[in-house]
Structure 1
Amino acid sequence: MLKRKSMLQWAAALLIALALPIPQTYAAQAASDTRIDAVLSVDVSNSMNESDVNKVSYEAMKMFIDMASVRGDRIGVVAYTDQVMREKAPLKIGGAKDKEELKKFIDQLTLGPYTDLAVGVDEAVKVLESGVEPGHVPLIVLLTDGNNSLRAGQTQQKSQEVLNQAVQKAKNKGIPIYTIGLNADGQLNKDELDRISKETGGKMFVTSTADKLPEILSEIYASHLKLKVVPLPGFTANGDFQNVVVNIPTASVAEANISIMSPNPVDVKLSDPSGKEQPIPSDRIVYSKSKAYSLIKILNPAQGDWNLKIKGVSKDKIDINLIYNYDLKVSMVPLSSISYSPGDSVAVKAHLMSNGQKVNDPGLYKNAKASLVLTDLDTKISTESPLVSNADSIEGSFKVPEAHDYELKVKVEDANFLRESEPVAISAKKPASPSAPAETSQESEGRWLKLSAWGGALLVLIAAALAAMAYWKKANRGFVGQLVVEIRDEDTGERTSPQYKKLHTFKGKFNLHQLLQLAPDYAETAAIVFRPGRGDTLNVVNKSGCVMEKGGRVFEAEGGKEIFARDCIKITLKNVNKVITLEYLK
């Protein structure tokens, strides 16, 4: 054990050492590379029957799901009143089938009395606290239509305490909350929604009509991934096909998302820049539709003007938005030093990158506005100065103002996207020591690329070793406590005596079928798996199709659900008419 611990310490030290020599080469994640972990938390109180008669909020959430990447994003759903009515753990999207599963879950949501905003925020934060996938950016979309309406015995003070704690957790964890207020009856607590969004780094949206919700959800999706919504000319339908030109400005567009909002379903046709009509759907074109929207996702579209034909119900108003998802990063060339003196001139150079290669598209540079954002870390004041865009690079310089610490990054923006490089830290607090003549930018870039390649290879080897050790440790992690098991036969009403199953004999994981001594009647419970959770909790994953409940509420556990001490869960089996009750005791 001591030897293994020493190896881990040595590997960690080496990782740090390898990271230290190359602190200046950064690349901001491009939208096409960025994956999201999103929780859609929606108010399903009875008042929504009046403020959202046609359940447009459900359609808006489904549109958000359709806008997500074809694979890789994770999306969960929380439906709340003054309690969590239903919950869908974040599902990793691997294709159209997963999106349909999420949308089907939304269609099955039911309404209930009372409203407590704190419940919707708190549960959504807990879902993301239980685990955000590495490299994914988290967010919460919170939708409500009014003030709290608490049942007898609940107090506004307690609700406010829970809400404040949840907002603080989201802020500490870097989870922005985008709030949407549906103010149909004028009773919306705008100030509270504004506070929630501002404190967590999100944004508030308020609308008096549910018809605006799909447009708002698409703006949230774009805003969170640093994309821009491009409105296309809308029109009033005449019952025939009407043309709309969709321009794909460069070959660096990874996805073009065309959302069509209308009161009724529409028919669509699409032709590429050569004039050839494209089959919808196809391998390169994903098509989704509902009663409130249609969405066309073109993967790696050819540059040029595409012709979209839309046929809507006569006199329906058709709104069309376009979101480009670019495969772009901004990468700064390493600076010659990280230590300067006040008054020194510092040269800055950056490139647009796509798929690890420099972008060879002068048009992208020509149409983009580039600037240097310099933040004084002592005064917290940021200044922005223009940079020059050349045919294949972005260049400029700045003078170090004072003997302070600074952070700089390059920002590139055009009508369709916004990208920023990762920040680079420099210091002017100590006089720069004499040094050899500075390398040229090409020499510096080449040297760092070589070092990065060697360092990357070593990092891969070390990461593999660490992953193997982590896997071994996880696979052999022990359990604490015991599960109290009772089984009720729904046909006869008979119930078994409580059986106390101690868990310390298991390592890494076990399934419920093992706990039930592999009884043939309960074979389906082999797909209900328990693993050690954080602290002394359990984590249950349910892929059996059996229905699981806690506190009288159904919950989803395909992606895992934390079970705490004294929690009691009920499992209704599919293949036999029996119910298993489990209570976790430490």
Structure 2
Amino acid sequence: MMATAMLMLLLVLPFQTLAATIGSDTKIDAVLSVDVSTSMNESDVNKVSFEAMKMFIDMASVQGDKIGVVAYTDQILREKALLTISNAADKQSLKTFIDQLTRGPYTDVAVGVGEAVKVLESGGSAPGHVPLIVLLTDGNNSLNTGAGKNQAQSDQLLEQAVKKAKDKGIPVYTIGLNADGNLNKDALERISTDTGGKLFITSTADNLPQILSEIYASHLKLKVVPLTGITANGQFQDVTVNIPNASVLEANISIMSSKPVEVKLVNPAGQAQTIPSDKIVYSASSAYTLIKLLNPEQGDWKLQIKGVSKEKIDINLIYNYDVQVLMEVLSSNSYKPGDTVPIKAYLESNGAKVTDADLFKNLKAALVVTDLDTKKTVETPLASSAQGIEGTMKLAEAHDYEVKVKVEAASFVRESQPVTISAKKGGASTPAPAPAASGNESTEGSHTLLKPIAWIVGLLLLLAAVGLYLFSRWKQANKGFFGQMVIEVKDEDTGERTSPQYRKLNAFRGKFELHQLLQLAPEFAETKQILFKPGPGDTVIMFNQSGCVIEKGGRLFDAAQGKELRNNDRIKILLQNVNKSITVEYLK
């Protein structure tokens, strides 16, 4: 009922209000799936793959992106569920997790792909988020035949995982580290091609940070802008960083060097900047230095870099834009062969039309038309300026067409939502979404009358929704539990176990702590931060807000955001303050 009320509210509120509540900058849901087989000890001696993944994390938005990590051999050694990045501490948590990864024998790429898809599935999807998987490996499969694994089984599992990724619209970007020349390029290419990703091959791990930068940019329809590289001379050297217009949300400056560097930054007004600060995010490792400028001032910034003499330093720039391209409503829904269709579009930023002439400098606009009968696609240039994007298309045949507008600048690419046009007799066309009103247009009297009515109805629905929400929260807080928990405690020093203790759950309401099941014993005080709440269908949702590590089936069970326990699920909790572990099994 609450969802229905909220939906009705959104339908009656004026469109300008709705548009203002929706963030227009795209966020990512990324899983970094890395081969940690022992062969990587030779092909990636300095663990540059780990540093590259950390750079990808640093390039992610300061808020809103979600990133998870899978470390695989022929099984999952460790994994971290999708973590929503809210602050610098979240990024550091991911990077610390990567630093703690170890390596093991054997390799099975199917395991890395399949688990990455599962992590994305379990993390849920949010509006405005686009998923992707980055898969890194250094060679062919190396299966543990002694454990009954064979290549045919692996191929079947890989095929299933790739199909699931394709069906769910998850592109897999594959990176082949071909250090010894034994890379199975065909297998990686099939994975990336079938899912709409891209294959990258390199013979040295040193190129991995650059490749991760390109994947980040490509997925968000951005471009890597190479800046002038330098050969360090032991003194500060100047590099110009241009912020071309006011629509830049973030500017990521990546500095690749195998030796430490010092950096300074001067804004376009000639003022030296404090690094880091509330507008400048700084991070560094043994392979890279990254500077993220937030809502930077337009103009030429001066980056000063001091490196070890004779060290080659590469510098790249990736802008993150708050820019979309929208097509205006077509003049008619009915067409015939020979008709000329007017095309109009415009750029939008933060819910308003972009009129910044600087953004249109060197911008190329094109009409992309796909004949749905012949499957042929043609691009035709369109005129673009701060006043808008315009052109025409002629319908040559009685066919159905998919039409969209593409704009391309030096640092980004954007496409409008596609529109279907039919020139067939009796064919139906789908009009482009109506653009938001500018707020400067005159309104008819009937519209003036409807607005206050809409607001009143909207307010009433909002109040009803709030009431339903509060009622649902009260109901959830008093919801009961079913079944029981079986508790065993193991002393990791001696190997001794307690007898299984059965704890019925029907006495609890809303939530309870693991510490309560342990009779509030002081030595287990850290389990106060491990909570259980009622879940759907007589399940239990576990929340781990402690420093304890939790495993299920030998794999990390990340319950920071809540994980469901079903009948017969068994988990192991490794305590931090005492060298003991607790096994919990849920029985309905």
Aligned to 2:431: none
Structure 2 counterpart of 1:212, one-letter code: N
Amino acid in structure 2 at the alignment position of 1:92: T
What's the counterpart of residue 143 of structure 1?
Answer: 136
The question of 1:320 aligning with 2:322 is answered no
Q: CA deviation at 1:122?
A: 1.3
1:90 corresponds to 2:82:
yes
Q: Partner of 1:333 in structure 2?
A: 328
Deviations 1:98-139 (A, max 9, x none): 111211111111111111111111111111011234121111
* Equivalent in the alignment of 2:585: 583
Deviations 1:347-371 (A, max 9, x none): 2211211111111212322421111
- Give the structure 2 partner of residue 58 of structure 1: 50
Going from structure 1 to structure 2, the CA distance change for 1:444 and 1:103 (only over 3 Å counts) comes to: closer
Matched, 1:77 2:75: no
Aligned partner letter, 1:419:
R
Which of 101, 120, 123 is the matching residue for 2:115? 123
The structure-2 alpha-carbon separation of the partners of 1:484 and 1:17, relative to structure 1 and needing over 3 Å to count, comes to: same
Structure 2 stretches of 5 or more lacking a match?
429-433
* 1:518-566 Cα deviation digits (max 9, x unpaired): 5555443232234566777654331111121223344433234454554
- 1:391 matched to 2:359? The reply is no
Q: For each residue in 1:425-466, what CA deviation from the matched residue of structure 2 results, as whole angstroms up to 9, or x when unmatched?
A: 344445599xxxxx9999999599979999997789868866
Q: Does 1:33 align with 2:28?
A: no
Q: How far apart, in 2, do the equivalents of 1:373 and 1:185 lie?
A: 43
Task: Show the counterpart of 2:546.
Answer: 544
Change (3 A) 1:34 1:166: same
SS of equivalent to 2:229: strand
- RMSD of aligned Cα (Å): 3.6
Deviations 1:184-234 (A, max 9, x none): 001111111111111111111010000000000000000000000011111
Preserved contact between residue 25 and residue 321 of structure 2 (Cα < 8 Å): no
SS of equivalent residue, structure 2 residue 402: strand
Cα deviations by residue, 1:231-253 (Å, 9 ceiling, x for unpaired): 11112212222221111111221
In structure 2, give the amino acid aligned to 1:559: Q
Aligned length: 570
Aligned-residue offset at 1:304: 1.7
What is the identity, as a one-letter code, of the residue corresponding to 1:57? Answer: S
Provide the residue aligned with 1:215 in structure 2: 210
> Is contact 1:341-1:432 (8 Å) kept?
no
CA distance in 2, matches of 1:221, 1:105: 20
Alpha-carbon distance between aligned partners in 1 of 2:468 and 2:333, rounded to the nearest angstrom: 36
Scaled by the length of structure 1, the TM-score of the pair is 0.87
- C-alpha change, 1:35 and 1:16, in structure 2 (3 Å) is closer
C-alpha change, 1:155 and 1:494, in structure 2 (3 Å) is: same
> What residue identity is the alignment partner of 1:359?
V
Matched, 1:487 2:482: no
More divergent stretch after superposition (363-372 vs 287-296): 363-372
Q: After superposition, what is the alpha-carbon deviation per residue over 1:253-297, rounded to whole angstroms, capped at 9, x for unaligned?
A: 111111111111111111122222222112211111111111111
Match for residue 97 of structure 2? Answer: 105
Moved more, 281-290 or 210-219: 281-290
User: 1:86·1:554 contact (CA, 8 Å) conserved in 2?
Assistant: yes
Would the aligned equivalents of 1:488 and 1:495 in 2 still touch at CA under 8 Å? yes
* Separation (CA, whole Å) in 2 of partners of 1:244 and 1:238: 14
Aligned residue for 1:414? 409
Provide the C-alpha distance between the structure 2 equivalents of 1:122 and 1:273, rounded to a whole number of angstroms.
Answer: 48
3-state SS of 2:197 partner: coil
Aligned position for 2:185? 190
Which has the larger displacement, 521-530 or 216-225? 521-530
Mapped pair 1:572 → 2:574: yes
Q: What SS does structure 2 have at the residue aligned with 1:336?
A: coil
Distance 1:503 1:422, change over 3 A: farther
TM norm structure 2:
0.86
What is the Cα deviation at residue 577 of structure 1? 4.5
* 1:411–1:419 contact (8 Å) kept in structure 2: yes
Which position in structure 2 is the counterpart of 1:499? 501
Deviation track 1:165-189 (CA, whole Å, cap 9, x = no partner) reads 1111111111111111101001111
User: Contact (CA 8 Å) 1:179, 1:194: kept in 2 or not?
Assistant: yes
Which amino acid is the alignment partner of residue 528 of structure 2?
A
Verify the 8 A CA contact 1:333 1:441 in the aligned structure 2.
no
CA change 1:463–1:332 in 2 (3 A) is: farther
* d(CA) in 1 for partners of 2:368, 2:131: 25
SS at match of 2:258: coil
Shift in CA distance, 504/117, structure 1 to aligned 2, threshold 3 Å: farther
With 484-493 and 350-359 compared, the bigger mean Cα shift is at 484-493
2:227 is matched with which residue? 232
Q: Decide whether aligned partners of structure 1 residues 540 and 406 sit closer, same or farther in structure 2, where only a CA change above 3 A counts.
A: farther
Q: 1:260 aligns with which of 255, 264, 270?
A: 255
SS class of match (1:387) = strand
Which position in structure 2 is the counterpart of 1:371?
A: 366
Q: 1:131 to 1:104 in 2, by over 3 A?
A: closer
Which of residues 325, 332, 338 is equivalent to 1:343?
A: 338
**Alignment match, 1:436:** none
- The code of the aligned residue for 2:134 comes to V
Distance 1:462 1:191, change over 3 A: farther
Q: Which moved more, 1:197-206 or 1:128-137?
A: 128-137
Counterpart residue number, 2:355: 360
1:85 counterpart letter in structure 2: L
Q: 1:470 to 1:507 in 2, by over 3 A?
A: farther
Q: 1:284 aligns with which of 272, 279, 283?
A: 279
Partner of 1:529: 531
Cα distance in structure 1, aligned partners of 2:453 and 2:334: 23
Question: What letter is aligned with 2:546?
Answer: S
Moved more, 402-411 or 211-220: 402-411
Provide the residue aligned with 1:169 in structure 2.
164
Distance 1:204 1:432, change over 3 A: closer
Q: Is 2:324–2:416's contact at 8 Å kept on the other side of the alignment? A: yes
Could you tell me how far apart the structure 2 residues matched to 1:432 and 1:111 are?
Answer: 59
What SS does the corresponding residue of 2:237 show, helix, strand or coil?
strand
Q: Deviations over 1:21-44 (max 9, x none)?
A: 99xx999x99x7111111111111
User: Counterpart of 1:347 in structure 2: which amino acid?
Assistant: P
Q: 1:485 to 1:358 in 2, by over 3 A?
A: same
